[in-house]
Amino acid sequence: MKITNISTINVEEIKQITWVQVETDIGITGLGETFFGPSAVSGCIHEIFSPILIGKNPLNIEKHWKNMFDMANAFGYAGAEFRAISAIDMALWDILGKFTKQPIYNLLGGMCRDKIRTYNTAGQYGENKDSELAITDAGTLAKSLLDEGITAMKWAFTDHFADQDRGNTISDEDLKLMIKPFEDIRTQVGNKMDIANDGHGRWNLNSAIRIGKAMDKFNLLWQEELIQPINIENHIILANEITAPVCVSERLISKFQFRDYIKAGAAEIVMPDLIWTGGITETKKISILAETEQRPIAPHDMTGPVNIFACANICMNVPNAFIMETCRAFNGEKGWYKKFVDPIPSIIDGYLIAPDIPGIGTNLKPEVLSLKGTKIITSNKPGEPHWGGFESPLFKVVNEKGRKKVKPKKNL
Ligand SMILES: [Mg+2]
């Protein structure tokens, strides 16, 4: 089997999503996804990675991942390069699943569970106004989630307070206002709802400690990114100062960044985002790193429908999956996922059910390709690696000058 075409697909309605389709000469197509900076992602896919993938066997996922990483890491790997790698990796796993006629979790080692608890992050789409409700009437939001069987929720309860002083200080008055939604939730539904707070990295350490302490009385599920994950020592200080587990973080890219936080005890809950941190291949490894330090993972997903399926495959497989992020404003009958993929994730009584079709578990609807405004770019020609890969022109020159020649097998 050979990769013949790699396409990036962008639609008008959801501008930051990029879908990647990897086609093969035997008619199997793999689907991947990433989010943010679509032009940059598309540039990375078509200029850097497609040339080294076209004509190769898509089943050699580890080799392709390593080759892409080596090329990206010639310039500091995180960013658009890694979003591109994540989407391609997902598509290659989808091909492997379809080729072997297995859901991806079976290829990762089988099931530890057949459903995973979800939490709902408040989003907005169409008639759904959960984000507004999270601020104005969090108790009612919690009640409506419980009515659907969803027992955990997350919102960025502190974001709008951070804007005033770039998170450098927090006044007593603002602290009181900040915890009001938590009081509302506890008043209306007691402890039936687990609550997580996402600080979106908007605070400095001093403010984060004050906020974390003020919220501790509500027994939070976790505190996520009160500070940005740029300093391991500060996360350890924060973890020692507050009771809620410190959750780190969708902003860490690859096992290399996660390793240091996990090993230092600075990530009490490990939250990789598959479409940014390196795909299914990398998230399996991050999960193992977390397991060695007896920490749970809770995959991040407030983006697109393919990511949810990728997360689901990881969560069915790894022993230390704890809970998975979903957004009812995006999923379900009134959300936007169903416009673009089929099937959509199945969430029953707050649990996401294991996808049961070969591959990642969903496909892009064919009509998406012909929607007005859809932009499709396709690469179909093999080429040389630009830089950094093991098969780069630089190595060929060295080999030709007398060093030991290592010829890669064709079509790997
Ligand atoms: Mg977050």
Q: How far is CA 397 from the centre of its chain?
A: 39
Percent of the chain with pLDDT over 70: 93
Instruction: Find the 16 Cα to ligand 1 centroid distance in Å.
Output: 17
Could you tell me which of 7, 6, 17 has the C-alpha nearest to residue 340?
17
DSSP 3-state helix, strand, coil percentages of the chain (rounded to 5)? 45, 15, 40
* pTM metric for this prediction: 0.94
The pLDDT of residue 407 is above 80: no
Give the Å distance between the CA of 375 and the centre of ligand 1: 29
- Contact of 315 with 345, CB cutoff 8 Å: no
- 8 Å CB contact between 90 and 363: no
Task: Judge if the upstream peptide bond of residue 343 is cis by omega within 30 degrees of 0.
Answer: yes
Gap from CA of 273 to ligand 1 centroid (Å): 9
Instruction: Compute, in angstroms, the gap from residue 198 CA to the centroid of ligand 1.
Output: 5
Give kind and range of the element (H or E) at residue 398.
helix 393-400
Output the CA torsion sign for 263, 269, 73, 408.
Answer: positive
* Residue-wise pLDDT tens digits, 276-326: 999 999 999 999 999 999 999 999 999 999 999 999 999 999 999 999 999
Give 52 Cα–ligand 1 centroid separation in angstroms: 33
Closest CA to 175 of 164, 186, 185, 188: 164
**Cα(37) to centroid of ligand 1, in Å?**
18
Residue 7: closest CA among 34, 45, 49, 38: 45
Tokens of residue 11, six digits: 């639609």
Model confidence at 385, pLDDT cuts 50, 70, 90, reads confident
Ligand 1 center–CA 250 separation, angstroms: 6
233 CA distance to ligand 1 centroid (A)?
A: 20
Q: Distance between CA 223 and CA 210 in Å, rounded?
A: 12
Axis-axis angle for helices 61-72, 279-292 (nearest 10): 90
- Residue 224 CA, ligand 1 centroid: distance in Å: 6
Measured in angstroms, how far is the CA atom of residue 108 from the centroid of ligand 1? 26
124-125 vs 115-121, strand pairing mode = unpaired
| 407 DSSP assignment | P
Does 354 score more than 80 pLDDT?
yes
Q: What are phi and psi of 331, to 5 degrees?
A: -90, 175
Retrieve residue 149's tokens: 């069987």
Q: How far apart are CA 80 and CA 43, in angstroms?
A: 9
Distance 303 CA to ligand 1 centre (A): 11
C-alpha 228 – ligand 1 centre gap (Å): 10
Q: Two tokens at 380?
A: 């179909």
CA gap 352, 324 in Å, rounded:
8
Q: How far is the CA of 328 from the centre of ligand 1 (A)?
A: 17
pLDDT of amino acid 227:
98
Burial of 154 (0-12, 13-18, 19+ CB in 10 A): buried
Distance 276 CA to ligand 1 centre (A): 13
- Report the DSSP beta bridge partners of residue 18: 34
Mean of the per-residue pLDDT values of the chain: 95
What's the gap in Å between 381 CA and the centre of ligand 1? 38
Q: How far is CA 182 from CA 26, 80, 141, 268, in A?
A: 54, 36, 11, 22
Helix (H, G, I), strand (E, B) or coil at 7: strand
Task: Summarize the confidence of residues 231-244 as an average pLDDT.
Answer: 98
97 token code pair: 């699943």
Residues 389 and 67 sit within 8 Å (Cβ to Cβ): yes
How far is ligand 1, taken at its centre, from the CA of residue 340, in Å? Answer: 24
What is the model's pLDDT at position 71?
92
pLDDT over 80 at 131, yes or no: yes
pLDDT per residue as tens digits for the range 32-80: 999 999 999 999 999 999 999 999 999 999 999 999 999 999 889 999 9
With tokens 């993972």, the residue in question is: 297
368 CA to centre of ligand 1 in angstroms: 29
> Are the CB atoms for 269 and 247 separated by under 8 Å?
yes
Beta bridge pairs of residue 121: 154
Question: Bridge partners of 378?
Answer: 7
CA of 279 to the centre of ligand 1 (A): 17
Per-residue confidence at 390, pLDDT binned at 50, 70, 90? low
Our CA angle for 208, 80, 37, nearest 5°, is 85
d(CA 23, CA 97): 14
DSSP bridge pairs for 118: 324
Mean pLDDT calculated for residue range 156-185: 96
d(CA 196, ligand 1 centre) in Å: 10
Both structure tokens of 407: 């010829």
- Nearest 5 degrees, angle CA 107-CA 274-CA 160? 155
Distance 200 CA to ligand 1 centre (A): 6
Work out the average pLDDT over 250-278: 98
**DSSP 8-state code for residue 321:** B
User: What is the average per-residue pLDDT within 236-241?
Assistant: 98
Distance from Cα 369 to the centre of ligand 1, integer Å? 31
Q: How large is the angle between the packed helices 138-147 and 180-189, nearest 10 degrees? A: 40
Give residue 237 CA to ligand 1 midpoint distance, Å: 20
Measure 58 CA to ligand 1 centroid, in angstroms: 32
Please give the domain boundaries of the chain with CATH numbers for all domains: 3-101+365-400 (3.30.390.10), 105-357 (3.20.20.120)
pLDDT at 384: 78
CA 225–ligand 1 middle distance (angstroms): 7
